[in-house]
Structure 1
Amino acid sequence: MDFLEYSDITAEVKGCMTPGKLKMTDQNIIFKNSKTGKVEQIAATDFEMVNFQNISGVWGLRMFLKNGILHRFVGFKDSEKEKIAKFFKSSYKIDMLEKELSMKGWNWGTAKFEGSVLSFDVGSNTAFEIPLNHVSQCTAGKNEITMEFHQNDDAPVSLMEMRFFIPSNELAGDVDPVEAFQQRVMDKASVINVSGDAIAIFREIHCLTPRGRYDIKIFNTFFQLHGKTFDYKIPITTVLRLFLLPHKDSRQTFFVVSLDPPIKQGQTRYHFLVFLFNQEDETSLELPFTEEELKEKYEGKLEKELSGPTFEVMGTIMKHIINRKVTGPGNFVGHSGTPAISCSFKAAAGLLYPLERGFIYVHKPPIHIRFEEIASVNFARGGGSTRSFDFEIELKSGTVHTFSSIEKEEYAKLFDFITSKKLNIKNRGKSDKGYKEDFGDSDDEAPDAYLERVKAEAKERDSDDVSDESSTDEDFKPNAEESDVAEEYDTNHSSSSDDEDGEGGSGDEAKHKKKEKKTKTISEKPSKRRGKKDKDENKPKRATTAFMLWLNDNRERIKKENEGVKVTEIAKIGGEMWRELKDKSEWEEKAKKDKER
């Protein structure tokens, strides 16, 4: 038997049962948190004792390590006990015994300290156990000890504090049992006290989340953010991931620290720390370690003297002291030549970074999405605009994150990246070739009347032959159905100007006549093709619109500003510029004069 694997297991983390996957191998036991993706490994050589334990009516494993740390994993079936017992006996040479708990309900008994665990025994059995690394503070009274606990925001019910009454004991002699109890708790509790010198100090670092400028002091077991208003002490064990991400402007760099559990300020929770560095800023530091200490503690990976860009020095120190690798951008390169995509999340603009194993968005709010959390992605139209699109990520939990206002040029790069990572694309059909090549152009899209009019006028001007037989349409699709809405717009456009055949009138009348013409062409006998009408050379041309007069004067400027633009796209770009033009009086006056002509 090489390994055992269980997918529906929960681990006890500060009073909350956290779901994940448990894998037991000959070398170690691995638990992967399904929520955060954090992987925790317990080496087989670290086991002191392993027991079966009934936790809330479900069988679990109680693992007590040689360093005094206690782990509990819950969710095993009764039928699996024998298989697990055999595995531990053969792989780890450990006998699996069931740990019985006291069911008497007494609130008096004996307190025992074993490693970093305080057990309260009633008789010969344990009533409850307290991992002391969950204790945030311990205070002593006359005959009383009060212990306060770190809180887990995900726990439905939290234990805030616990009090023990310790009676006086004449046999204790000069030793105060209350002070001795408190000292044993404080030795193993995770209480952060600023003592000793900091390993490294970075002054006045610009922090986007939480907002402000902070001095960052890094110690062995925690790091401190010291600002003018707030002060945060963050244990190193709460750091989940580190990210180093270059800004799109190539002059700044984000350094992102992911935390679990988050730091708190009132009711606000900060799951990410986002620092912003200028790439030109440099610093030099000398670490307070001897060469021997650096070799022993950090295996020679840290040098005594560090110098270079501030973000690199900070990243190097955090990486080795916290023992977390620094994640950078993956192989993705966007349209702008950088690994970032400009977009908006809700009302705030930011940057989306496709990574090797997920996405991260900075900075308001910072969001990290792992690939294994994603159910599907979706490319959607961006609020009616043809120049941008929305990128939707739907998680397996049902949550949907929408990143909007992404430039159309980014689509091909992002699509190739999604395809290479084998993510499920929700709106991909049997053949996505046409969709990929021309995002935003589909048969069911409601046409833009203004754009249609601009295209029609551009064709009249650029075409030498005004006949229907010789005109070309680049957007023509032989298999696409004809849109009724487009027909209405075309009819309104022709009826609004002087009709050459003298059939001008209201839009409804023109539409009715057009339908009559269509009805007449349908007959049992094949109709003969009518010959081309003779063109009257002395007939005056129809009046030019204000937009076309403006476009004729600005055509060369548009070509210069948009190198390589197609002739058919000049009118489209001009239409957008004309729409944003505030003062159109000059061109409207010229159009009025031309109409009188």
Structure 2
Amino acid sequence: MELRFHIPTDNSSEIDPVQAFNDNVVAKASIIQATGDAIAEFKELQCLTPRGRYDIKMFPSFIQLHGKTFDYKIPLTTVLRLFLLPHKDGRQMFFVISLDPPIKQGQTRYHFLILLFSKEEETTLDLRLTEEEIKEKYEDKLQKEMGGPTFEVISRIMKALVQRKITVPGNFCGHSGTPAITCSYRAGNGLLYPLERGIIFVHKPPVHIRFDEIANVNFARSGGSTRSFDFEVETKNGVVHTFSSIEKEEYGKLFDFVDNKKLRIKNRGTSFEKPNTTYNEDELVDSDLEDEPVPDAYLAHVKEEGKQREEETGGMGGSSEDESDESFNPGDSGSEVAEEFDSNPPTSSDSDDEEDDKASGSDDKSLKEKKPKEKKKSKSAKTVKEPGMRKRRKKKERDENKPKRPQSAYLLWLNENREAIKKENPGISITEITKKGGDMWKELKDKSKWDALAAEAKKEYEKAMAEYKASGGGATTAEKGTKKKDKKENDKKASATKSPTKSPGKSEDEASEPAESTPPSSEEMSE
């Protein structure tokens, strides 16, 4: 945690209030203290993470970074690894310090401290150590006077203080003749260094992956381009790091390196140079060998269904609606669809058609055959829906015997106080009355009376509903649909009986005889 204080200065006092406050804190707190002078000090070194120029002071137990805005104190016990990496341009060097736990600035955490040096920059300094301290503590790894390139001097001092080896690139040499590969990671460009025991990406964000953490690697297509590829590294905990936009010329070098390190290559057996090489399709993940798109099983299944449907319908489009109309039987099941189909109230056009049928003398069979055709016609005729037009819902028949739902406590209170609200606010609309009542109901503290009335009304409703269901009310959907269907058929038969048809070849007396309630047999139909 970082705390910052503003301490007003007092010009009349000779004692510096800031120094006095610092002395009090240091005297009472167990903190890292800069006892004595620093061993070595470097001025205005370029730091990539955290970004800026910092003065670095090296003490026996910690490192201090002092910048224009922020200061950091890094205990030497938090340093895990040291890396010295040459830049691809051959003129600069990266000195990377891996930290755990990281240094923090607000919500930002820096797991790596990356310093950038020019190879031409040199420095000479005298260490603030005695010859005895150098021999006893650092075993002659340091000299009283040190000079040379700045990156070399600071790396030697850090190696002696931390007592850890410095990791440098191994035998890997890329297409450019350097141990670095230019690539992108997430949104940042940087350099990828294949090392002897892992890989490291510099610089934003820096990533270090050891070989023992890697589950497998994969060479994949880079966004459809044939001039570059992606190098995917999947760790054992399931995280995939994708280093993209790598030049195609680097593929052979990187592949040989990974193969020599005995890492599992996910798409082994493939080559960017030889598209016809045999490979395992399950292991190939979007590699550069895919000149043809991956077959889509779902799309093929949909196309096959479309061909079958076209063959069944004889190539006529839109016939699936007609088939569903012919095979649809609302009375066979108790589904909600059947109830909605049968509960359609007869429209004026339907009633007019029935009257025309009666007048023309059509029999029961002609009525039954004509009805589905009219439904087909009404379904196939598509109406143009205007913008903002709502779909018309079918009105459900209301059961007058069904008990009404009980009112809530708020509605009971509003019905009793509605007139009082009107008197207090003359000319108020119904909407404003409801809004005003809602505000008054919220401010009402004692609602026990209305809650009790609502609970009593609910009990009465439940009792009435039980009696209503016991008496046969609230029939199921299938029963309602069957009753309505039977009623409809009886009405048709009755209408046919009242208006008999005159068939050719029959006398008027025969035609005037009432029709039987049973349907005609096949022999009668042939006659």
TM-score, normalisation: structure 2: 0.48
Q: Which has the higher helix share?
A: 2
Q: Which has the higher strand share?
A: 1
Which protein, 1 or 2, shows the higher relative CO under an 8 Å CA cutoff with sep ≥ 6? Answer: 2
